[in-house]
Amino acid sequence: MDPNGVITKYIRIGIENIAAKKSTGDTLFYHNDHLGGVNVITDDWGSRVQLIEYDPWGKVSREEGIGDSVRRFTGHMLDPESGLYYYGGRYYDPELGRFISPDPFV
């Protein structure tokens, strides 16, 4: 539930969001790029709601519209406060183009 009381139900294949149905009646569809990150969101009429483009290191180079994509570059979650992507065991900084912590599995 968001701060306005809107409930969103996500439709997934694995961990990948493919659509979202909001309690307002709106439906959003997620379109991924070749790296698995959401770069286009459309509404139920096929109109583009949001466009996100990234540079090769994951930094947002272009963003248009307002969407609710939780998963961004390479399909991973972006922490809006820190600007870091969470990769399950460590964090990635798109400004530096590298992970900021060691791999916990090595």
- Domain limits of the chain? 8-99
Q: What is the mean pLDDT of residues 20-25?
A: 91
Buried b (16+ CB within 10 A) or exposed e, 23-56: eeeeebbbebeeeebbbbbbeeeeeebbebebee
> pLDDT of 27-63, one tens digit each?
999 999 998 888 999 999 999 999 999 999 999 999 9
Cα distance between residue 51 and residue 54, in whole Å: 10
- Name the band, by pLDDT with cuts 50, 70 and 90, for residue 7: very high
Q: What is the mean pLDDT of residues 70-82?
A: 87
Sign for the pseudo-dihedral over CA of 94, 98, 104, 106 = positive
Share of the chain above pLDDT 90, in %: 56
